[in-house]
Amino acid sequence: MMDLFAHEDLGPRNVLPHSGIANFFGAVLSHEGADKALASLMSDIEWRNDEYNFAGKHIVTARKIAWYGDAPSHSNQRRVFPWVPALLELKELVERTCGHKFQSCLLNLYHSGEEGLGWHSDGEKTPVASLSLGATRRFVFKNKADKETLEVQLAHGDLLVMEGETQDYWLHRVPPMKSVKEPRINLTFRQTA
Ligand SMILES: O=C(O)CCC(=O)C(=O)O
Ligand SMILES: [Fe+2]
């Protein structure tokens, strides 16, 4: 019998109702491929605690981060490491899938559901491609004007690409989920050097 919906999953779905585009592609890696990527990144990435100043306090997060890119650099603010093979492979997969090229990547490591990331917009006006590995976590958008919220579940191997006016009109966050015991790595590929 002909399946009328056979091609339903081929294209991405924009999860935002207006004022931006957040294209959800679902899993772009096989389960096995995602397992391998997660294991490689756990060991090959130079994970560091994120540090910033907020309300006169120096904050050191439990969540770990790392920057990689075409233009390695080292300042007090940020160290950018040169691409490593596991990361380059993922970058190329993401580029092929969404049709954009990327020059850098911010990785976030959430050791468990105790760790999250608060409301923010990314600084980029250009596309940001987010690849998730490990534990499924909620990713929540909030409209800056009318406070409307909506969320997607980001699972092992899922790709979400934010573009257009998304960062101007929407905040996003990864709320803590106390029931989650497993780690998650998120990679955001960016067009900033
Ligand atoms: O972990 C995520 O899914 C989001 C990460 C994020 O928003 C960021 O790195 O700017
Ligand atoms: Fe972000």
Which of 68, 102, 108, 160 is the pocket-test mutation for ligand 1 (most atoms within 8 Å of CB)?
Answer: 108
Distance 21 CA to ligand 2 centre (A): 14
User: Mind listing the pLDDT tens digit for each residue in 84-132?
Assistant: 999 999 999 999 999 999 999 999 999 999 999 999 999 999 999 999 9
Write down all domains in the chain, each with its CATH number in brackets.
14-190 (2.60.120.590)
pLDDT of residue 6 exceeding 70: no
Residue 9: its pLDDT value, please?
59
Instruction: State how far the Cα of 166 lies from the Cα of 170, in Å rounded to an integer.
Output: 6
Residue 132: its pLDDT value, please?
98
pLDDT of residue 37 exceeding 90: yes
Nearest to 184 by CA among 153, 162, 164, 156: 156
Mean pLDDT of the chain: 94
Strand order in the sheet with 117-120: 117-120, 170-174, 137-143, 149-154
Residue 5: its pLDDT value, please?
55
Residue 162: its pLDDT value, please?
98
Q: Decide: 166 in ligand 1 pocket, CB within 6 A.
A: no
pLDDT of residue 10 exceeding 80: no
Q: For ligand 1, atom 2, which residue shows the shortest CA distance?
A: 186
Give CA separation, 163 vs 5, 33, 57, 71, 193, in Å.
Answer: 27, 26, 33, 23, 17
Distance 108 CA to ligand 2 centre (A): 10
Q: Decide: 23 in ligand 1 pocket, CB within 6 A.
A: no
